[in-house]
Structure 1
Amino acid sequence: MRRLLTAVFACLGITATALVAASPAYATVFQTYGTGVNVRADAYLSSAVVGTLAGPTSIDVDCQKEGDLVTVSGGSSRWWAHVPALGGYVTVAYVAIPEDKLPGVPDCDGEVPPPAGDITLADVQAMFGTRIANPSIVQTGLPSLNQAMRDASINTPYRKAAFLATLVHESRLEYNIREIGDTRPYGGRGYIQLTGDFNYGPAGQYLGIDLLGNPDLALSLQWSAPIARWYWTVARNINPYADNLDMGRVNAAIGYPAGAEDQRRCDSFKNAIRYLTGSVPGGVICTRPAKLAGDTSKLTRTQFDALAKNGGGLG
């Protein structure tokens, strides 16, 4: 099918080489086929859909990367074309070429510039210093982590500061980290150190994966960030606490008992806000109310929200 479509487009004069002259110097033009083809934020089927191609479309591709295998009637491919004008990736399975990989197009190799407003490695190093212990791992995970932040509406300095300060203490911002010494089947894994079957089960159900049967998926580049996003917005509703500069309730929502760690995380929160805005506002709350001092990890969202109410509109 893809060979046939390639020939048809060639007869119509719609070829990559014929259209290159009209494209930006860095891009090569290809033609897609089919209808309703998704443009995704990254090269994975779990990545957010950022657009849809209604029908056959000319796309300007600057690089390509390996991701999830996509199989359609015309063939299959693990390669995804990065299309800057669309802000995402299109599977090569829906590009009208006879090959499974785009000819003459370089691999992305991490060189795709992040969208405006995304957090970079330099950003988190400036915020958290030596807590960024493995920069190469952090760098590898940032595209998926930034996408999770967009999906979770973590889009203000206070929300970004709370989220990143939490993750740098949970996992050092390493997507593939396992809690040291934790041999429990459902022990801490990934960006947010997902813990307990009461979290693995619902998170897997929400994302459509079997986390109970394969808990190490929580360590994968594909799922670690979406799991963190699920916890932040579904298992808990944490953005409003960040909006109120209430790091005490943010820490309680993560599910560990109150103690010295609360202040350490609050200090990281302030460092992140200072970096993102230039100053630390008054009113940052570092302590929790007494009713949230214990381990709240096994509470449902409804139960936690009831305890976390403070009469300030958060409930």
Structure 2
Amino acid sequence: MRVPTIRRLGAALLALAGITAAGVIAATPAQAAVFSTYGTGVNVRADAYLSSAVVRTLPGPTSIDVDCQKLGDRVTVSGGSSSWWAHVPALGGYVTVAYVSIPEDKLPGVPECGGNPNPGPDITLANVQAMFGSRIANPRLVEEGLPSLNRAMRDANINTPYRKAAFLATLVHESRLEYNIREIGDTRLYGGRGYIQLTGDFNYGPAGRYFGIDLLGNPELARSLQWSAPIARWYWTVARNINPMADALHMGRVNAAIGYPAGTEDLRRCDSFKSAIRVLTGSVPGGIICTRPSKLSGDTSKLTSTEFDRLAGTPTSKG
């Protein structure tokens, strides 16, 4: 469901009247398209991700001049949801389309910012079997989860061979690509569950708040078909910023970001990364880094995103 008609109408009337929450609408650049937000307290962020810095907050319905839009974090509100974000040059950032008064999930007639990479075809069971062989121990279950996993990859901008290879290689070692797996022998209340093997109240709590579900009260949701893939996407893009590590072919940093001590498992995962790239592109590029920076050799699972980024030397903004 998208934005209710009454909200769209109210915001549209404000725009037609030439009024915003801050006053009269400024002159519109010729190349921009004009839309209106609805609601109060809508954040303008530095990039199209919920973890990006808030550059300002709109106190009420506001007319915005949009020059382009980009895919980012999916935002769900009472009126609907969208993974698209409107770039508003005059405000110095991005506004989620979920708070733009239109019936669509994507702004009509607005170009994508710089163009977005074509995500290519969805990953299939045959793909992952070719990549990982006997690690795909339950093909029926893997195939059942692939539609939700492919959707999560699109929402997370896991849309290049390197990003797909890093993500899939990670999950096949975490969960054998089985959405409902529970870590064997782990009886802890917040033990490993799901595609990404979500672990610890320090992850269950933030992931639940992000999606508006009570993961602390019902941790089994983390291995449900509905939530396992979105939670993996949340960890990949919000709890950590892993896509840039995959872009750099730095599987060592990817492994550190997942949160376990360095060891021979790093090399096994790196081999799976190479195998996945070979299936997706036909060859394995040079320059793949399988080892971690020394500062990340320990157990990194409990580090905050900011702490991890400082040690890893990676940017804090998502993209």
With normalisation by structure 2, the TM-score equals 0.62
- For the Cα contact (< 8 Å) 1:176–1:191, is it kept in 2? yes
Q: What is the CA–CA distance in structure 1 between the aligned matches of 2:135 and 2:220, rounded to whole Å?
A: 24
- For the Cα contact (< 8 Å) 2:120–2:159, is it kept in 1? no
What secondary structure, in the 3-state scheme, does the structure 1 residue paired with 2:181 have?
coil
**2:281 pairs with 1:253:** no
RMSD (CA atoms) = 2.7
**2:181 pairs with 1:177:** yes
Structure 2 residue corresponding to 1:207, chosen from 205, 211, 236: 211
Structure 1 residue corresponding to 2:297, chosen from 262, 277, 293: 293
**2:268 pairs with 1:269:** no
Structure 1 segments of 4 or more deviating over 6 A?
Answer: none
The residue type equivalent to 2:175 in the other structure is S
Structure 1 residue corresponding to 2:201, chosen from 183, 197, 201: 197
What secondary structure, in the 3-state scheme, does the structure 1 residue paired with 2:159 have?
coil
**2:313 pairs with 1:309:** yes
Query: What is the number of residues matched between the two proteins?
Result: 209
Q: What is the CA–CA distance in structure 2 between the aligned matches of 1:314 and 1:215, rounded to whole Å?
A: 27
Q: What is the CA–CA distance in structure 2 between the aligned matches of 1:142 and 1:207, rounded to whole Å?
A: 20
Aligned-pair CA distance for 1:314: 10
Tell which structure's C-alpha radius of gyration is larger. Answer: 1
**2:238 pairs with 1:234:** yes
Aligned-pair CA distance for 1:116: 5.4
- For the Cα contact (< 8 Å) 1:159–1:239, is it kept in 2? yes
Q: What is the CA–CA distance in structure 2 between the aligned matches of 1:215 and 1:133, rounded to whole Å?
A: 25
* Alignment partner, residue 147 of structure 2: 143
Provide the identity percentage. Answer: 81
Aligned-pair CA distance for 1:117: 1.2
Structure 2 residue corresponding to 1:283, chosen from 284, 287, 298: 287
Aligned-pair CA distance for 1:50: 8.2
* Alignment partner, residue 155 of structure 1: 159
- For the Cα contact (< 8 Å) 1:149–1:155, is it kept in 2? yes
**2:230 pairs with 1:220:** no
Q: What is the CA–CA distance in structure 2 between the aligned matches of 1:201 and 1:149, rounded to whole Å?
A: 22
Q: What is the CA–CA distance in structure 2 between the aligned matches of 1:50 and 1:178, rounded to whole Å?
A: 29
Q: What is the CA–CA distance in structure 1 between the aligned matches of 2:160 and 2:239, rounded to whole Å?
A: 21
Q: What is the CA–CA distance in structure 1 between the aligned matches of 2:83 and 2:240, rounded to whole Å?
A: 25
The residue type equivalent to 1:170 in the other structure is E
The residue type equivalent to 1:263 in the other structure is L
- For the Cα contact (< 8 Å) 1:188–1:195, is it kept in 2? yes
Aligned-pair CA distance for 1:140: 0.5
* Distance change >3 Å, CA 118–CA 246, structure 1 → 2: same
* Distance change >3 Å, CA 171–CA 49, structure 1 → 2: same
What secondary structure, in the 3-state scheme, does the structure 2 residue paired with 1:286 have?
coil
Q: What is the CA–CA distance in structure 2 between the aligned matches of 1:272 and 1:121, rounded to whole Å?
A: 13
What secondary structure, in the 3-state scheme, does the structure 2 residue paired with 1:165 have?
helix
Following superposition of structure 1 onto structure 2, how do residues 59-74 of structure 1 map, counting pairs within 5 Å?
none
* Distance change >3 Å, CA 170–CA 48, structure 1 → 2: farther
- For the Cα contact (< 8 Å) 1:48–1:147, is it kept in 2? no
The residue type equivalent to 2:157 in the other structure is S
Larger RCO, structure (CA 8 Å, separation 6 or more): 2
With normalisation by structure 1, the TM-score equals 0.63
- For the Cα contact (< 8 Å) 2:237–2:318, is it kept in 1? no
- For the Cα contact (< 8 Å) 2:132–2:272, is it kept in 1? yes
The residue type equivalent to 2:264 in the other structure is A
Aligned-pair CA distance for 1:146: 0.2
- For the Cα contact (< 8 Å) 1:48–1:151, is it kept in 2? no
The residue type equivalent to 2:154 in the other structure is R
* Alignment partner, residue 102 of structure 1: none
What secondary structure, in the 3-state scheme, does the structure 2 residue paired with 1:175 have?
coil
